[in-house]
Amino acid sequence: MDKSLRWLAIFATILMFIVMVAGSLVTKTESALGCGNDWPLCNGKWVPEYTLESLIEYSHRFTTGIAGIVVVIFSIAAWRRFRDNREVKSLAIFGMLFIVVESLLGASAVMWPQSSPVLALHFGFSLLAFTGVLLLTIFVLQRHKGNAFVKESVSSGFRKYVWAVTIYAYGVVYLGAYVRHTGSSMGCGVDWPLCKGQLIPELSGQAGIHFAHRVGAALLFFLVWGIALYAMNRYRESRRDVYVASMISAVLITIQIISGALVVYFKLHLYATIFHSMVITCLFGVMSYICLQVLKSPKVPFRHGKE
């Protein structure tokens, strides 16, 4: 049972990551209406016509459907295996809830016209669904080591800081999705870090939207490195879980900034854009893991159910 659950957890996480990449591919290739306004059919057919847009959109729908089924099976299996564990129950509900919300929002975007702010939510909800599955997978894979990591509680101030930065990171992710859906990805031209040759451009239109995302990402860079440096100085030995995850997040935010520059330099090249989305997905997942871990205390460990 435990071995099968571990493999199911890994499979579910990989599928959800593929869903994230596929969603970015749909947006980048402007294939969202590759199946017209039909759902779940594609241009009135179960088997779509062999056009690039319809194949990309239909593949995304198919992958999302399979991922949804696997996530539900994984969540129920984990719940039954650790039926007395509140952490497992919360993560299972969280993952299943947002994959349903993400699917419904995706269907509504196909059948009815949506504004850019609403379309940007699609990526955000997908990210939350992926995060729920990832955290549940990490629990399943390291449940025998979980309590060993927690040798002391983190300070209240650090806990609040981590949660605030992660919530802010979600806002930056949403703004990035908004940039794509408003067609503002090249709002600053091919200049980086300048915007149309200026340090601070005219804060209106596509340039203003793109510049706001850059400023938000730059601030996030320093905030995430603040978490990493504090964890390195304070929790390097007593909280290896928080320390290691914080260092990984610092590396990822650095790569994210570089990948954002590459998106501009290569004029929205497909590979650069997809890589940019992949890195932010991993970054938010790691930061959410830190959020979960800073809530834990050695005095009140999480119950792991019947072994």
The residue whose two tokens read 């599955």 is: 133
Question: Do 170 and 124 contact (CB within 8 A), yes or no?
Answer: yes
Reply yes or no on whether 57 is catalytic: yes
SS3 42: strand
Q: What is the distance between the alpha carbons of residues 260 and 281, in angstroms, rounded to a whole number?
A: 14
Q: What is the distance between the alpha carbons of residues 305 and 84, in angstroms, rounded to a whole number?
A: 5
Q: What is the distance between the alpha carbons of residues 297 and 67, in angstroms, rounded to a whole number?
A: 33
Question: Do 16 and 133 contact (CB within 8 A), yes or no?
Answer: yes
Q: What is the distance between the alpha carbons of residues 213 and 115, in angstroms, rounded to a whole number?
A: 19
Question: Do 140 and 5 contact (CB within 8 A), yes or no?
Answer: yes
Q: What is the distance between the alpha carbons of residues 163 and 206, in angstroms, rounded to a whole number?
A: 30
SS3 198: strand
Which candidate in 30, 49, 53, 57 is catalytic?
57
**Catalytic residue IDs:** 57
